[in-house]
Amino acid sequence: MVELILEALRAMRPPFALYEADLHSLVEQALEARNLPYVHEAKIGAGCRIDYRVGAIGLEIKKGKPNRTALLAQLRRYAACDALEGIVVVSWQRVALPGSVAGKPVYGLSLSALWGVSLP
């Protein structure tokens, strides 16, 4: 399932200046184009909501370059939820992520890299 999700997201070519809501719309279009059912703002645990849930995979969308410390804390909360088996983080700029958090795989997708541009 995660490979289908990543394939759908890698097909996106978003313009540079977007609001996070615009990224959500593009993600929805990419998932719908591949007939991948999703839940937006999915509740995955007590007081825990992720941007998208596609099956047992959570998608977290970040505009710009996220603060790594805050993002890792967020990923730890998500990984503690039984509803998820893995997490995909979609951000404009690349952020260093571990391969797994609490035993659940984590995948990073840099939107700027989809254009072949690498931004620090």
- pLDDT recorded at residue 114: 59
Q: Is residue 16 part of a domain?
A: yes
Is the pLDDT score of 113 beyond 80?
no
Q: Determine the structural domain holding residue 15 and report its residue range.
A: 2-113
CA distance 59 to 53: 6
Residue 11 has a pLDDT of 77
Contacts 24+ apart (CB under 8 A), 19-28: 19/63, 20/61, 20/62, 20/63, 23/61, 23/63, 23/90, 23/111, 24/51, 24/61, 27/51, 27/52, 27/59, 27/61, 27/90
Q: What average pLDDT does the segment 90-110 reach?
A: 91
The reported pTM is 0.83
101 within domain boundaries: yes
Can you give the pLDDT at residue 93?
A: 81
**Would you call 119 helix, strand, or coil by DSSP?**
coil
Q: Is residue 49, in this structure, part of any structural domain at all?
A: yes
Residue 118 falls within a domain, yes or no?
Answer: no
pLDDT, residue 83, reads 95
| pLDDT 10s digits, 1-49 | 788 888 888 777 666 556 788 889 889 999 999 999 999 999 999 989 9
Query: Over 70: is that where the pLDDT of 115 sits?
Result: no
- Domain assignment present for 119: no
Domains in the chain, number: 1
Identify whether 120 is part of a domain.
no
- Decide if 106 is inside a domain: yes
At a CB cut-off of 8 Å and minimum separation 6, what does 56 contact?
1, 83, 84, 85, 86
Q: Is residue 70 part of a domain?
A: yes
Helices marked H in 11-110 — which ranges?
20-33, 68-79
pLDDT (tens digit per residue) in 47-77: 899 999 999 999 999 987 789 999 999 999 9
